[in-house]
């Protein structure tokens, strides 16, 4: 196979005009001797560039758990044999029976999808997946995680084990109590329209996030269960310590021992904050 190399040359000895010269040859040995060194430099540069890309990619390699691709800023806990990894410390995923699991400070969720193009993750509440009549146990608590609720979501407001209630409001039949206490669900905010004090009359109030597209407001009482099992969407933003690194096209790395983040650049350098020239 012929190899084509384009070299920009300015030859001081022969005053060759500035131009692009094209050489076609079957082997480096067929080149004119004056260009051996140029060819060697070309090969070194290409090799170094390939090694840099390879080293950076290997350091932040993606992996899989079932049908979930786990890539930056997420990382697979079982792949981390050392104290340093690419990604956010809160975004480590466990893989159990081909199911990706993420643990928040107070809750545990199954990962149904990660969309790297729009930076969103779809989560399922493990507590409700096998329940014929899902009973939400907790609110979604993001605390200081680099996550935010998506515009694709809406909230459902549940009131459980209410001892007093308006007769005109339909209760959740599959949660009907033997002692006549009842449970209710509303699109969040709708419960205040009738002015009733639900919080005072019910044992527990829980707000659940679901996808808007899964909710039919006219069939909420029977449809909330299926919606809860389809999960909800969260968007992620750059972690505070990683914003400058990512803005400079680097990967944020976290060290478990020092509890500090560093920045892995595309050229293989590891710096404190940013890969931009003139920064550390």
52: confidence class by pLDDT, cuts 50, 70, 90: very low
Which residues fall within 8 angstroms of residue 174, CB to CB, at 6 or more apart?
Answer: 132, 133, 225
| pLDDT of 37 strictly over 80 | no
What is the reported pLDDT for 39? 43
If you average pLDDT over residues 156-163, what whole number do you get?
95
pTM listed for this prediction: 0.76
48: confidence class by pLDDT, cuts 50, 70, 90: very low
| pLDDT of 49 strictly over 50 | no
Look over the chain and give the mean of its residue pLDDT values, rounded to a whole number: 81
What is the reported pLDDT for 195? 83
**Are 156 and 224 a contacting pair, CB within 8 Å?**
yes
Distances (CA, A) of 131 to 171, 215, 225: 18, 18, 9
Question: What is the rounded CA–CA span in Å between residue 253 and residue 88?
Answer: 8
If you average pLDDT over residues 138-147, what whole number do you get?
91
Question: What is the rounded CA–CA span in Å between residue 42 and residue 9?
Answer: 13
If you average pLDDT over residues 150-173, what whole number do you get?
94
Residue bearing the bigger pLDDT, 191 or 8: 191
Q: Which residue has the tokens 């939400």?
A: 136
| pLDDT of 20 strictly over 80 | no
What is the reported pLDDT for 251? 96
What is the reported pLDDT for 15? 35
| pLDDT of 184 strictly over 50 | yes
Task: Dump pLDDT digits (tens) for 257-270.
Answer: 888 999 999 898 99
223: confidence class by pLDDT, cuts 50, 70, 90: very high
The strand order across the sheet containing 251-255 reads 84-86, 251-255, 260-264, 270-271
Sign of CA dihedral 275, 60, 81, 119: positive
- Which residues lie across from 25 on neighbouring strands? 3
| pLDDT of 26 strictly over 50 | no
Distances (CA, A) of 208 to 160, 186, 232, 273: 13, 10, 9, 37
What is the reported pLDDT for 177? 75
Task: Dump pLDDT digits (tens) for 83-113.
Answer: 789 999 999 999 999 999 999 988 899 999 9
User: Residue 176 corresponds to which tokens in the numbers above?
Assistant: 């009907």
Own/partner contacts of 106-115, CB < 8 Å, gap of 24 or more, are 106/138, 106/141, 106/143, 107/138, 107/140, 107/141, 109/231, 111/68, 112/231, 113/68, 114/68, 114/69, 114/70, 114/71, 114/74
Own/partner contacts of 64-68, CB < 8 Å, gap of 24 or more, are 65/93, 65/95, 65/98, 65/99, 65/100, 66/95, 66/98, 66/99, 66/100, 67/98, 68/93, 68/100, 68/111, 68/113, 68/114
Residue bearing the bigger pLDDT, 216 or 43: 216
CA dihedral 85, 86, 88, 93 (to 10 degrees): -70
Question: What is the rounded CA–CA span in Å between residue 64 and residue 85?
Answer: 16
If you average pLDDT over residues 215-240, what whole number do you get?
93
What is the reported pLDDT for 61? 85
Neighbours of 58 (CB within 10 A): 8
**Are 248 and 274 a contacting pair, CB within 8 Å?**
yes
């Amino acid at each position: 196979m012929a190899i084509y190399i384009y070299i920009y040359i300015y030859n001081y000895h022969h005053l060759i005009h500035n131009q692009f010269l094209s050489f076609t040859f079957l082997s480096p040995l067929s080149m004119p001797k004056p260009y051996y060194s140029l060819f060697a430099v070309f090969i070194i540069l290409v090799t170094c560039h390939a090694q840099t890309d390879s080293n950076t990619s290997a350091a932040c390699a993606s992996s899989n758990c079932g049908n979930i691709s786990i890539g930056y800023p997420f990382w697979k806990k079982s792949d981390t044999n050392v104290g340093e990894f690419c990604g956010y410390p809160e975004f480590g995923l466990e893989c159990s029976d081909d199911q990706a699991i993420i643990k928040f400070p107070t809750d545990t969720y199954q990962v149904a999808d990660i969309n790297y193009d729009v930076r969103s993750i779809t989560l399922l509440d493990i507590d409700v997946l096998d329940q014929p009549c899902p009973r939400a146990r907790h609110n979604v608590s993001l605390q200081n995680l680099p996550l935010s609720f998506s515009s694709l979501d809406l909230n459902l407001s549940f009131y459980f084990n209410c001892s007093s209630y308006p007769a005109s409001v339909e209760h959740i039949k599959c949660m009907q109590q033997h002692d006549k206490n009842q449970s209710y669900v509303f699109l969040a905010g709708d419960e205040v329209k009738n002015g009733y004090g639900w919080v005072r009359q019910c044992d527990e109030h829980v707000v659940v996030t679901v996808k808007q597209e899964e909710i039919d407001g006219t069939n909420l009482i029977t449809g909330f269960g299926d919606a809860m099992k389809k999960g909800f969407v969260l968007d992620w933003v750059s972690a505070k310590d990683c914003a400058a690194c990512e803005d400079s096209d680097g990967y944020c790395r976290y060290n478990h021992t020092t509890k500090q983040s560093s920045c892995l650049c595309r050229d293989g350098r590891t710096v404190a904050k940013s890969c931009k020239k003139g920064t550390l």
